[in-house]
Amino acid sequence: MKISIVGLGYVGLPLSLQFAHSGVTVIGLDVDSAKVEHIHAGRSYIKHIPSEVIEEMVKAHKFSATTDFSRVKETEAVIICVPTPLNKNREPDISYILDTGKNIARHLQKGMLVVLESTTYPGTTDEDLRGVLEIGSGLEAGKDFHLAFSPEREDPGNPNSQVAIIPKIVDGYTPACLEKAKHLYSQAIKTLVPVSSCRIAEAAKLLENTFRGVNIALVNELKVVYDAMGIDVWEVINAAKTKPFGFMPFYPGPGLGGHCIPIDPFYLTWKAREYGQNTRFIELAGEINIGMPYHVLDYVVKALNQHKKALNGAKVLLLGVAYKKDIDDLRESPALTIIELLQQQGAVISYNDPYFPTIGKGRKYDLQMKCAPLDNLGQYDCVLIVTDHSDYDYARIVRESQLVVDTRNATKGIDSPKIVRC
Ligand SMILES: NC(=O)c1ccc[n+]([C@@H]2O[C@H](COP(=O)([O-])OP(=O)(O)OC[C@H]3O[C@@H](n4cnc5c(N)ncnc54)[C@H](O)[C@@H]3O)[C@@H](O)[C@H]2O)c1
């Protein structure tokens, strides 16, 4: 079997490697020629994916990459894994999906299968994507070509997470499309979960991520409430999670990050408005989560104040800028908002993150900072732990710092008056 996978990012690259590893020949397509060059050279550009795995598949002629969309013609199925961000008005931006659909349409052949994996609102596959594919190709979905949606369940940074063993939801525009999609994924994925329509699968993915967003908001709110009561929320959660049924632990933090949880719920709220429906619960969760960096700012101000210092002019070192521990992904990271908020108040900010030698220009920020060495910690008025990377020696950090504000409970078990947990 020969397939193409469009978008070789955090989702598309591991998926390509999984198919290749299972014996399927994969042509990876991306508009980013740098990624294509990396793959040809057998070099990984994602920290948790070893270069050797790419090199092995490239050498075995199971995986190649190109920017040339006409290569789609050589394959029997195309899987789309392109970004689905929000635009500056916080509305869904499915332009990457539509552009990809138009590019595929020019080369679509009878009998081919097109699967969308990008997270999006219900109706994207059978309305929006189907529309551009049919108009661009002159072919009809469900009759001339097959169409399906199968959401990705990637857990970056989790060493036990493997594409092959995570159950995968699949659906089809027609029953025949579903059969085709099942056949495709059964090459590489152990457990498939067929559902009755593309909209069910799209909605299921949004439920999964909204569930996380809402529960994280709940513990973020509880953190503030319990803190006012002098109760340690981390100990509370650890106690509650011993309940063997009906409870699942979520942990507070400095705010949401990544390409999924801060974004996906708003795909749902936007679509709901089309049906005259309000999503107050989801929006409230978003409001609480978006407010967390401001809460961190308050804590830093209070902590410095206790040391008779003002934030204005204070030297602050941020530890960890990735949106979660042990990964090299900065997208939507709350660290970026926190840096900006602290700088607005006149703080002099440095950062350290083993995964980011520099921070440049992102979608929202242009910070142009260089990673500071993790020495001479006593020079900073405050060391602020934003991301609890496993590589850090927290005991040493506390020992050598004047003041540590910890947003992740990374200093758990360390008893020191220098630590302020928030
Ligand atoms: N990262 C995750 O953990 C995760 C988990 C589940 C679902 N998702 C979803 O999967 C989708 C992809 O996310 P990601 O994290 O892999 O994004 P990413 O930004 O890491 O990768 C997307 C890739 O698509 C390429 N691209 C953009 N436009 C293109 C086009 N028109 N044609 C070809 N290539 C194009 C980009 O160059 C990039 O390499 C999103 O919808 C996301 O919500 C992501």
Q: pLDDT digit string (tens) for 213-226? A: 999 999 999 999 99
Angle, helix 233-240 to helix 198-228, in steps of 10 degrees = 130
Kindly give the distance from the C-alpha atom of residue 390 to the centroid of ligand 1, in angstroms, as a whole number. Answer: 26
pTM, two decimals, is: 0.93
Quickly tell me which residue has 């198919």 as its tokens.
19
| pLDDT digits 0-9 by tens, 305-354 | 999 999 999 999 999 999 999 999 999 999 999 999 999 999 999 999 99
Q: With contact defined as beta carbons under 8 Å apart, do 93 and 106 qualify?
A: no
> What pLDDT was estimated at residue 19?
97
- Ligand 1 atom nearest the C-alpha of 84 is 41
Q: Judge whether residue 161 has pLDDT over 80.
A: no
Query: What value does the CA radius of gyration of the chain take, rounded to a whole number of Å?
Result: 23
> What pLDDT was estimated at residue 38?
98
- Residue from 391, 383, 394, 398 nearest 356 by CA: 391
Q: Judge whether residue 159 has pLDDT over 80.
A: no
Total Cβ atoms within 10 A of residue 370: 10
Pocket lining: 152 vs ligand 1, CB cutoff 6 Å: yes
Q: Tell me, yes or no, if 260 is annotated catalytic.
A: yes
Residue with more model confidence, 158 or 291: 291
> What pLDDT was estimated at residue 171?
97
Kindly give the distance from the C-alpha atom of residue 81 to the centroid of ligand 1, in angstroms, as a whole number. Answer: 5
| pLDDT digits 0-9 by tens, 100-130 | 999 999 999 999 999 999 999 999 999 999 9
- Residue 223's alpha-carbon distances to 103, 233, 267, in angstroms, are 48, 5, 27
Pocket lining: 100 vs ligand 1, CB cutoff 6 Å: yes
> What pLDDT was estimated at residue 365?
81
Q: Round the average pLDDT of the chain to a whole number and report it.
A: 96
**How does residue 162 score in pLDDT terms, banded at 50, 70 and 90?**
confident
Please state which of the ranges 63-77, 159-173, 345-359 shows the lowest mean pLDDT.
159-173
Cα-Cα-Cα-Cα torsion 196, 11, 72, 176, nearest 10 degrees, comes to: -10
- Residue from 388, 333, 324 nearest 362 by CA: 333
Pocket lining: 30 vs ligand 1, CB cutoff 6 Å: yes
Kindly give the distance from the C-alpha atom of residue 325 to the centroid of ligand 1, in angstroms, as a whole number. Answer: 20
Q: Which residue puts its alpha carbon closest to atom 13 of ligand 1?
A: 83
Mean pLDDT in residue range 53-68: 97
**How does residue 139 score in pLDDT terms, banded at 50, 70 and 90?**
very high
Q: Judge whether residue 47 has pLDDT over 90.
A: no
> What pLDDT was estimated at residue 137?
98
Kindly give the distance from the C-alpha atom of residue 92 to the centroid of ligand 1, in angstroms, as a whole number. Answer: 14
**How does residue 154 score in pLDDT terms, banded at 50, 70 and 90?**
confident
Adjacent-strand bridge partners of 3: 26, 77
Pocket lining: 332 vs ligand 1, CB cutoff 6 Å: no
| pLDDT digits 0-9 by tens, 246-303 | 999 999 999 999 889 999 999 999 999 999 999 999 999 999 999 999 999 999 999 9
Number of H helices, E strands in the chain: 12, 15
Q: With contact defined as beta carbons under 8 Å apart, do 416 and 401 qualify?
A: no
